[in-house]
Amino acid sequence: MSFSHSPRRAAAVAAHAMVATSQPLAVLGALDVLREGGTAVDAAVCAAAILCVTEPHATGVGGDLFAIVREPSGALYGLDGAGPAPRAAPPARPEQGGGNSVDVPGAVAGWDELLRRFGRSGLERCLRPAIELAGAGVPAGFNCARIWRASPRAPASLGPPPAFGEHYRLPELAATLEGIATRGPQFLYAGPPAEAIAASSWLTLEDLGDYRPAWVEPLLVTYRGLEVAELPPPTQGVAALEALAILGSVEREPGLRDQILAVALALEDALAAVRDGADVTGLLDEEHVRVRRSQLPGPVAEPAGGTVCVCVVDRDGMAVSLLQSLYESFGSGVVAGATGIVLNNRAAGFALQGEVVAGTRPYHTLIPGMLTRGEELVGPFGLMGGMIQAQSHVQFLCSLMRGSDGPGDPQAALDQGRFRIDRRTLNLEEALWERAGELVGLGFELRRSTDRSPFGGGQAIVLREGTLFGGSDARKDGCALGY
């Protein structure tokens, strides 16, 4: 049965707690943690670790992480778990793969920081399922098998690309995860894995040992009665928020043309302004938004990428949106010695700046999202797929809030047909082909795409009238489940 003709599924529902992510094994592992009394953060870290095993092309110990946590009190916290380029990196054009495309892996430090502040179960408990699955083996999901087979950077040391449903094992990764679980994150950043990473890349032991994740304040914009939270630079969260601000002043419900123009304008601004540590609040200023609303966008170039997303709500009302990535499929293509750690190629993102900037982070694609309405939790969400993330955030939220009684069905909002802007090309999924006539005159070359990969995927949980509604993008292999 093809994707385009698969029957639509309804949102999952639950009364107490819910997990949504792109692999069922990760969902089940996280639900076990919740049933044992763990927090949403415990469950999210458990799922994120399992995804390092079940989607090794997209995420891993050698990658980076961003998260937004909402406490039951209503307080919002952002965690930036993205590491920098080496402090001694030369100001050269970035490489797309290999050891000189690697930034400091921040994911493991991010797990530890999240658990220390919001966890209850402990690092060892949260990593145990991933350790067992990596050692015993897992069957390859459809997308995992497809991407592994097609990736030019798939490391030979991980074994031959598995067929759909074929079991594969990652015993070296299991041993590394065991070391992290029992000895803490310093095992990765100062122990034998650090030496292997330094020997396999341009990172030094000092680059690794000095790394710390950072707590940051989320950026906020109100769209159709919802407060939408995204993270500041180096992420592209402001692009989604600026587009929503442009659309928010449209008295009628934003149409497809409106969304495309708003997204293109916001991406143009973000690609010019988002840099590590930059203050981008001016892009959300009312006067700036008013001026941009009357303008036409220029071309925006978008590199590819791969990401995983975990959304969790626990029975106490804590909510988490966590995104984790190696950047492109299998990142740099480099495995650090005998550790099983696939290293990211995040430094390739410096291409937008023209050269590597030592000790800093490039423009980041990962943007977790959180929805609230006053003191009320609406829910966590996240969409992955490299640079399409800001574009798909806007499309998801426009669909979710369509009509007068939103938020609506998160599953339907995730599964709707998407557009993707890339330079002067406007790529349309099949569900939008019949609407191509509406888009003439926007300045884009229209392309009817038959490949679903460039359109990413997503996860979302919406709390409405005491019930949790969960969606997991049909473009991926996952699900949303709760109890």
If pLDDT is split at 50, 70 and 90, which confidence band does 1 have? very low
How many CA atoms within 13 Å lie on the side-chain side of 136? 9
Q: Which of 278-292, 342-356, 444-458 has the lowest mean pLDDT?
A: 444-458
Question: Which of 154, 173, 164, 184 shows the shortest CA–CA distance to 50?
Answer: 173
Sign for the pseudo-dihedral over CA of 59, 62, 68, 70? positive
What does DSSP say about strands 445-448 and 425-428: parallel, antiparallel, or unpaired? parallel
Calculate the average pLDDT of the chain.
94
| Amino acid 343: pLDDT | 98
Q: Which of 15-29, 106-120, 400-414 has the lowest mean pLDDT?
A: 400-414
Per DSSP bridges, beta strands 64-70 and 319-327 are: antiparallel
pLDDT for residue 297 is more than 90: no
Q: What is the DSSP string of 296-363?
A: ----B-----EEEEEEEE-TTS-EEEEEEEEESTTTTS-B-TTS--BBP-GGGGGGGTTS--TTS---
Let me know if residue 316 belongs to a domain: yes
- The burial of 454, by beta-carbon neighbours within 10 Å (0-12 exposed, 13-18 middle, 19 or more buried), is given as middle
Structure tokens at 83: 């590491």
Asked if the peptide bond before residue 407 counts as cis, ω within 30 degrees of 0, the response is yes
Counting Cα atoms < 13 Å in the Cβ hemisphere of 374 gives 1
For 306-343, write each residue's pLDDT tens digit. Answer: 689 999 999 999 999 999 999 999 999 999 999 999 99
Give just the sign of the alpha carbon dihedral 328, 332, 333, 334: negative
Q: Between residues 9 and 177, which one has the greater pLDDT?
A: 177
Question: Does residue 118 register a pLDDT over 50?
Answer: yes
Q: Is residue 458 part of a domain?
A: no
Print the domain residue range for 328: 16-214+305-352
Q: Is residue 480 part of a domain?
A: no
Q: Is the pLDDT of residue 123 over 60?
A: yes
Residue 467 falls inside a structural domain: no
Please give the C-alpha separations between residue 381 and each of 311, 368, 458, 480, in angstroms, as whole numbers: 6, 7, 8, 12
Residue 471 lies in a domain: no
The helix-helix angle for 256-273 and 388-400 (nearest 10°) equals: 140
Query: What's the confidence (pLDDT) of residue 306?
Result: 67
366 within some domain: no
User: pLDDT category, 435, cuts 50, 70, 90?
Assistant: very high
Checking if the pLDDT of 3 tops 60, the result is: no
Q: 304: pLDDT confidence band, cut at 50, 70 and 90?
A: low
Weakest mean pLDDT among 5-19, 46-60, 450-464: 5-19
Average pLDDT over residues 55-67: 97
Whether the per-residue pLDDT at 96 is higher than 90: the answer is: yes
pLDDT at 4: 40
Predicted confidence (pLDDT) per residue in 69-90, tens digit: 999 999 999 999 999 999 999 9
User: Cβ-count burial of 460 within 10 angstroms (0-12 exposed, 13-18 middle, 19+ buried)?
Assistant: buried
Domain assignment of residue 27, yes or no = yes
Q: Specify the pLDDT at position 250.
A: 66
Q: 197-216, pLDDT tens digit by residue?
A: 999 999 999 999 999 999 99
| Buried-exposed string 348-385: b where 16+ CB fall within 10 A, e elsewhere | bbbbbbeebbeebbbbbbbbbbbbbeeeebbbbbbbbb
Pair 345, 86: CB distance under 8 Å: no
Question: At which residue do the structure tokens 């991010």 appear?
Answer: 110
- Residue 183's H or E segment, with its range, is helix 171-183
Q: Which tokens sit at 471?
A: 């969606």
Count of structural domains, the chain? 1
33-46 pLDDT tens trace? 999 999 999 999 99
Helix (H) or strand (E) holding 53: helix 40-54
The rounded distance, in Å, linking the Cα atoms of 211 and 171 is 27
Measure the CA–CA gap between 107 and 324, rounded to whole angstroms: 7
What pLDDT, on a 0 to 100 scale, did the predictor assign at position 298?
78
387 pLDDT above the threshold of 80 = no
Place of tokens 């994120």: 48
Any domain includes 333: yes
Q: Kindly state the average pLDDT of the residues 123-145.
A: 97
Task: Tell whether the model's pLDDT for residue 401 goes beyond 80.
Answer: yes
pLDDT given for residue 253 in this prediction: 86
Distance CA 351, CA 141 (A): 32
